[in-house]
């Protein structure tokens, strides 16, 4: 792990143990993000993206969630070994999170400004109330909201404004890592672009590492340097944005691109990925994308492929690529 | 805001008029001539007619109603008791404090117990303690108040003489009635608090608070409880109103001379003018409590507060334009 690494996740396995069975939500996921870097985590609903985010924050709901293995290094320290008290000092300070739905993520009975001041006071108790408030107003203005709206309540803000407030809360203590869990999914398209643009510039300004969870490749192309595609709790392909966009190798990644409408190509119909997402309570021994894959062969059923580095920094988890690598 | 409060206060007038109509009509349509209760059984037609005139029952029904409403509205005159010829107002004033005290003390104790228990139950969801509180409150809500009163009386007043069986004005004689009333209110409130809290601690904004690194204790107090108490507030108001009305049973069981017992005694004597007065008073108090709850809502919930203020602004705008 280099000195420049902000966060590193190693061999993360998380299961949800419910009465209906064990949901294998995250299966052996590893990745790292450098300081100042933005990594996109792309996948369908239920692929385990949010579970990865909550694991890093130590916010997995116990029960039913259970972390079987995994090490999460933030600033050189393994978060999985931290006590709740130690985690409380890290949350909001070193790692913070922007949640998916801004409409419900703010407390409806507390003034917006006080919700920002809370996180500032929490991690810097030496500040006086006035100083913390001053800082909170600065944060509000940084995300493009007039400071005089400090005294207002969340219901007086629009969705996009609320998300800005949440971003202000996340950035208030200048964390080393921001996890943004589909930050714009609940917003309409024009506001999406505004919020994304703002996040991008703030992230750049503060040189914060960011894990951006999304299912929108457009956003990934716009602000990420790195990208990992996740399917059924596994990273099936990862690499730089150039790798993924110009040379997608995993059938699932190709399938995802095939289902995006294109402006410059004249296509009769989009090609959706056939079939349904594999049941996470009943994952096969072999490649979990097998049932939906256009390239599947009998060989695919023989073993579960490993992530193989097909070119420097570009990893793919597919048996065909493995073979190619072995042969070549 | 002030406008809203005044508007809500003005609402009380039509509500009370409605109450007066219903209570008065009920008295009129109840079968049997009340005069029979207040004259000798061998009284002559003239004697009966004289009594009818004395009680004011000789007027047509609408006139009786108008006279009654006029008396209540202008002089707080609820008429005179048919049996004792005492002004109903004097009786009500004498007895009302007892009913109010019983309801307020009981509900106060109930709230003090119910909210912490409900919160603990929700925070330790599915634990043994939660299950225990759930079961205990279920049993307590299911027990009828009069049965509990009887059991307590036979245990603590008859077997061991810790408390008097009948109200005598001492603090001791308050213990059992307050206990019975508080238990009923407490178990209901506790369950409401628990449900409301369970909903709130799963809310996204509680997760946001955790992601800020806030401690669990403060998350419960500052973030969850404030939201969870909004529905509880309504329940407390309701409970208070119910206890005021429901005091009929408790007061009768323990022989407390409150409004409830007054009404029951009056019904026995067919002294309907007293029943009328008692019911109107209880309905009035109930309405006022609901009014206070509605107003306090806007203090607790900023969303309601601004909805109240924006309606005023909306109305002000066309006026300004004109």
CATH code, domain carrying B317: 1.10.3720.10
- Tell whether the model's pLDDT for residue A328 goes beyond 60: no
Task: Provide the pLDDT for residue B87.
Answer: 87
State how far the Cα of B254 lies from the Cα of B164, in Å rounded to an integer. Answer: 9
Strand partners, A226: A39, A240
Residue pairs spanning A and B at CB distance below 8 A: 78
**Number of separate domains in chain B:** 1
Quote the pLDDT of residue A147.
Answer: 82
- What's the pLDDT score for residue B136? 93
- Report the range out of A243-252, A298-307, B7-16 with the highest average pLDDT: B7-16
B67 in a structural domain: no
pTM of the model: 0.81
* pLDDT at residue A40 is higher than 50: yes
Average confidence (pLDDT) over A155-165: 87
Interface test with A, best of B205, B218, B305 (most A CBs within 10 A): B205
**Residue B31 Rama label (left phi>0; alpha psi -120 to 50; beta):** beta
- B301 in any annotated domain: yes
Nearest CA in chain A to B205: A105
Contact A205/A197 with Cβ under 8 angstroms? no
B13 occurs within a structural domain: no
By DSSP bridging, strand A5-18 and strand A21-34 are: antiparallel
Listed in order, strand segments (DSSP E) in chain A are 5-18, 21-34, 38-42, 65-74, 77-78, 95-98, 177-181, 209-214, 226-231, 234-240, 308-311, 314-316
Q: What is the mean pLDDT of residues A21-42?
A: 87
Mean pLDDT of A201-205: 86
pLDDT in tens, A215-225: 888 888 888 88
The number of residues in chain B equals 322
Q: With an 8 Å Cβ cutoff, are B214 and A97 in contact? A: no
B182 neighbors B145 (Cβ within 8 angstroms) = no
Question: Looking at residue B117, what is its pLDDT?
Answer: 94
The confidence score (pLDDT) of residue B311 equals: 53
Nearest CA among A181, A165, A178 for reference residue A118: A165
Supply the range of the domain harboring residue B308: 95-321
Is B70 inside any structural domain?
A: no
Residues of A in contact with B209 (CB under 8 A): 107, 118
Helices vs strands, H then E, count in chain A: 11, 12
pLDDT score at B318: 47
**Interhelix angle for B2-29 vs B61-75, to 10°?**
140
Q: What was the pLDDT predicted at B270?
A: 83
* B48 lies in some domain: no
pLDDT attached to residue B50: 83
Sign of CA dihedral B278, B282, B283, B284: positive
Distance from the Cα of A93 to chain B's closest Cα (Å) equals 8
pLDDT tens-digit profile of A281-298?
A: 778 777 888 778 777 777
Model pLDDT, residue B322: 37
Residues of chain B with pLDDT under 50: 312-322
Q: What does chain A come to in residues?
A: 328
Residue A291, token pair as written in the block: 């049932």
Place of tokens 């924050």: A57
Contacts of B213 in chain A (CB under 8 A): 87-93, 119, 122-123
In a domain, B119, yes or no: yes
Q: How far is A4 from chain B (nearest CA, A)?
A: 24
CB-based contact A108 B303, cutoff 8 Å? yes
In a domain, B83, yes or no: no
Predicted confidence band of residue A267 (pLDDT cuts 50, 70, 90): low
Do A211 and A219 touch, CB atoms closer than 8 A? no
DSSP string, B38-75: HS-TT--HHHHHHHHHHHTTTS-HHHHHHHHHHHHHHH
pLDDT digits over B22-58, tens only? 988 888 888 777 777 777 777 788 888 888 888 878 8
3-state secondary structure of B321: helix
Q: Which residue from B212, B226, B306 is facing A156, i.e. has the nearest CB? A: B306
Within-domain flag for B251: yes
Nearest neighbour of A89 by CB, restricted to B210, B213, B301: B213
Cβ–Cβ < 8 Å for A304, A283: no
pLDDT of residue B112: 94
């Amino acid at each position: 792990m280099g000195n420049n690494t902000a966060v590193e996740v190693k061999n993360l396995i998380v299961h949800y143990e419910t009465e209906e069975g064990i949901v294998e939500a995250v299966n052996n996921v590893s990745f790292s993000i450098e300081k100042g870097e933005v990594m996109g985590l792309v996948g369908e609903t239920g692929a385990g993206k949010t579970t990865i985010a909550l694991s890093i924050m130590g916010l997995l709901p116990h029960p039913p969630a259970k972390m079987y293995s995994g090490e999460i290094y933030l600033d050189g320290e393994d978060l999985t070994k931290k006590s709740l008290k130690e985690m409380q000092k890290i949350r909001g300070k070193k790692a913070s999170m922007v949640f998916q739905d801004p409409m419900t993520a703010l407390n409806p009975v507390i003034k917006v400004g006080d919700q920002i001041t809370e996180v500032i006071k929490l991690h810097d108790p030496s500040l006086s109330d006035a100083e913390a408030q001053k800082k909170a107003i600065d944060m509000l203005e940084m995300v493009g909201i007039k400071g005089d709206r400090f005294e207002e309540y969340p219901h007086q803000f629009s969705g996009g404004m609320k998300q800005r407030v949440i971003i202000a809360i996340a950035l208030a203590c200048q964390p080393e890592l921001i996890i943004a869990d589909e930050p714009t999914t609940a917003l309409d398209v024009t506001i999406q672009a505004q919020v994304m643009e703002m996040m991008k510039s703030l992230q750049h300004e503060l040189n914060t590492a960011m894990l951006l969870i999304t299912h929108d490749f457009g956003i990934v192309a716009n602000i990420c340097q790195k990208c990992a595609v996740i399917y059924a709790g596994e990273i099936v392909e990862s690499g730089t944005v150039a790798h993924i966009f110009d040379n997608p190798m995993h059938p699932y990644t190709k399938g995802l691109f095939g289902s995006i409408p294109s402006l410059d190509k004249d296509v009769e119909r989009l090609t959706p990925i056939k079939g349904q997402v594999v049941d996470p309570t009943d994952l096969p021994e072999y490649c979990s994308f097998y049932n939906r894959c256009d390239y599947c062969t009998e060989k695919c059923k023989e073993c579960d492929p490993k992530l193989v580095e097909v070119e420097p920094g570009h990893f793919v988890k597919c048996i065909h690529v493995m073979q190619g690598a072995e042969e070549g | 805001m002030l406008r809203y409060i005044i508007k809500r206060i003005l609402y009380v007038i039509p509500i009370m008029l409605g109450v007066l109509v219903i209570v008065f009509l009920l008295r009129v349509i109840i079968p049997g001539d009340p005069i029979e209760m207040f004259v000798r059984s061998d009284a002559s037609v003239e004697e009966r007619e004289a009594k009818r005139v004395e009680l004011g029952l000789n007027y047509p029904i609408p006139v009786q109603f108008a006279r009654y409403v006029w008396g209540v509205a202008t002089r707080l005159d609820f008429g005179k008791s048919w049996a004792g010829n005492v002004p109903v107002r004097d009786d009500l004033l004498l007895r009302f404090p007892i009913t109010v005290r019983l309801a307020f003390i009981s509900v106060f104790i109930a709230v003090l117990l119910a909210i912490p228990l409900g919160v603990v139950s929700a925070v330790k969801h599915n634990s043994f303690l939660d299950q225990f509180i759930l079961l205990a409150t279920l049993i307590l809500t299911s027990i009828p108040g009069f049965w509990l009163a009887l059991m307590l009386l036979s245990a603590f007043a008859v077997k061991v003489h810790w408390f008097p069986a009948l109200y005598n004005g001492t603090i001791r004689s308050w213990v059992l009635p307050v206990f019975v009333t508080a238990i009923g209110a407490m178990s209901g409130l506790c369950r409401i608090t628990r449900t409301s809290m369970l909903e709130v601690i799963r809310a996204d904004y509680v997760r946001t608070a955790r992601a800020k690194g806030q401690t669990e204790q403060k998350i419960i107090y500052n973030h969850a409880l404030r939201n969870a108490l909004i529905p509880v507030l309504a329940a407390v108001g309701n409970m208070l109103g119910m206890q005021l009305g429901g005091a009929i049973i408790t007061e009768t069981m323990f022989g407390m001379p409150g409004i409830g017992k007054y009404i029951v005694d009056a019904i026995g004597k067919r002294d309907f003018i007293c029943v009328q007065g008692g019911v109107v008073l209880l309905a009035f108090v109930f309405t006022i409590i609901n009014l206070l709850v509605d107003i306090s809502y806007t203090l607790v919930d900023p969303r309601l507060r601004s909805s109240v203020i924006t309606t005023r602004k909306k109305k002000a705008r066309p006026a300004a334009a004109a």
